[in-house]
Amino acid sequence: MPVAIVTGASSGIGLALSKHLLEQSWTVILADVAPPPPEITGTYEFVKTDVSSWDSILALFKHTFKTYSRIDFVAANAGIDDRDDVCADSATDEPAPLNFKTINIDLYGAINTYWCALHYMRRNPGGKQGKIVFTASSAGLYPFASNPEYCAAKHGLVGFTRSVSQKLASERITVNSICPALVKTNLAPTELLRIIPQEQMTPMSTIVKAFDLFINDTEFKVTGQTVECALDELIFRDPPEFGNESQQALFGSDASKWLEGYEKA
Ligand SMILES: NC(=O)c1ccc[n+]([C@@H]2O[C@H](COP(=O)([O-])OP(=O)(O)OC[C@H]3O[C@@H](n4cnc5c(N)ncnc54)[C@H](O)[C@@H]3O)[C@@H](O)[C@H]2O)c1
């Protein structure tokens, strides 16, 4: 039976994905700071995990690999919205430090989850293979004035996905991102859900379909992709156009000069 780890599995998108995987007989490790609701059925284990803590993530992966001997799919999904107002005027003589909780969970936590996933997927029985999907956001593609730190973290995940996938291209380990629009979960404030028209809400079924694109890739060929999930559409998003020919030559599809330059540095 294939084994998945889903972070942020106790609510919203992570919960829907976990239920979907359980319905298809996956073994699912639900990794969250909070326990899952009681209605879940199937072969699952809740492992209390705080993705803002390296020790907690490492313990999650060590436990999973030791207990189930393999890790096939990891959804780095846990996320929160902004806790700082980075545009506020400080009430004090000098600025107080920001808490960066959002960046710690949404960016560093997701990258640390990837880092552990990569390690254990390379040790899977039968050879290196696995699939990693980040839950980025439409805020990883567009400006997002209400949550600038969230926006920075999600843009970070999109750039990270596009970059590591090039370097891992020769391995059967895929890395992709999904970018949901607004989905009704516990993340969005109630007032926001009240004032945004219902017809602009993306159904959870679209998000699950986006995960399936990557989960069902039996050839391990679909990697480095960013998929915007809006209403009932899944839209593959390429990086922005090159500014000129020089940029195309520098940052185009052949990364070999950069890799060589850094390897020999
Ligand atoms: N709901 C949306 O409109 C929307 C849109 C785009 C992207 N997203 C992204 O989807 C992901 C899931 O969000 P959601 O909408 O399902 O929200 P949600 O609040 O319903 O679920 C998030 C889950 O993450 C868990 N979590 C929070 N901090 C954690 C931590 N430090 N370690 C482990 N788990 C933690 C929470 O306990 C919760 O169960 C997030 O990354 C979010 O940014 C959501």
Q: What is the mean pLDDT of residues 94-103?
A: 94
Number of domains in the chain: 1
Classify strands 226-230 and 233-236 as parallel, antiparallel or unpaired.
antiparallel
CB 226 within 8 A of CB 176: yes
Q: Which residue has the tokens 């979960």?
A: 185
CB 173 within 8 A of CB 130: yes
Contact 30, 45 (CB under 8 A): yes
Q: What pLDDT sits at residue 41?
A: 96
Is the distance from the beta carbon of residue 32 to the nearest atom of ligand 1 less than 6 Å? yes
Range of 64's domain? 3-263
With a threshold of 0.75, does the pTM exceed it?
yes
Number of helices followed by number of strands (H, E) in the chain: 9, 8
Lowest mean pLDDT among 13-17, 89-93, 147-151, 176-180: 89-93
Cα of 163 to ligand 1 centre, how many Å? Answer: 24
Proportion of the chain in helix, strand, coil states, percent, rounded to 5: 40, 15, 45
| Rounded distance from Cα 89 to ligand 1 centre (Å) | 28
Quick check: CB of 104 below 6 Å from ligand 1?
no
Domain of residue 157, CATH code: 3.40.50.720
74 confidence band (pLDDT: 50, 70, 90): very high
Say if ligand 1 is within 6 A of residue 149 CB.
no
- Give the per-residue pLDDT at 254: 75
Confidence of residue 126 (pLDDT cuts 50, 70, 90): confident
Decide: 11 in ligand 1 pocket, CB within 6 A. yes
> What is the structure's pLDDT at 90?
83
Q: What is the mean pLDDT of residues 186-198?
A: 95
Task: Look at ligand 1, atom 24, and give the residue with the nearest C-alpha.
Answer: 8
